[in-house]
Structure 1
Amino acid sequence: MKLNDFLKADLLGNKFLAVKGYAEVLDRETEQLAAYRLNVSIQDESSDFFMEMIQVKVNNLHPTVSVEELKNNRTMGVALKDLNVGQFNGNLWFSCTDVLPVTK
């Protein structure tokens, strides 16, 4: 068994809360906007990681929950489309393809 066998996004649950809006991620070579980072609080009580804060890279320059929406809402329930978890040099990383609003 390998470390990557434990890096499964479903272990985090499926209830997330976006906190404080997006931060820009610039391409190292061109200094152009390449993606966004979003602080996300895990809100699924069944998750072993309940109430942990993670930073997710959003690989989409036009996410469904827009930059403007999160500027106005300091926290917002979200769903993370295609959430991936990995590790590099002993650090965990999280990425997704889109941030979707959650309706109650």
Structure 2
Amino acid sequence: MTDLPPAILWPLAAFLGLCLGSFLNVVIVRLPVMLMLGWRAEAREALELPDEERPRFNLMVPRSICPRCETPIAWHDNLPVIGWLKRRGRCACCEARISPQYPLVELAGGA
């Protein structure tokens, strides 16, 4: 890998950093929800209440959605920084504003 010319190595490293930042955004948003769901399940078990039917929710599933209308975000709108800029920070479906936190964390990962 060190044999790659800098003109290829630096953009590749920056892109991988942006992807890492994008994954960090997923962790920031989903980990608290995952913890809460786990605590609820433990409480239901301790209280001997019936299990709740709930869809799978982890770091990989479901796909990213708009926080307002819950429409899944298309893969090309989910590209680190580029997707947010392309959509001008708005949802493709409902035009709701998407927080600038997402591209800022991605840029921090790419730095």
**Higher relative contact order (Cα pairs below 8 Å, separated by 6+ residues):** 2
Tell me the TM-score normalised to structure 1 length.
0.23
Tell me the TM-score normalised to structure 2 length.
0.22
- Larger helix share, 1 or 2: 2
Bigger radius of gyration among the two? 2
- Larger strand share, 1 or 2: 1
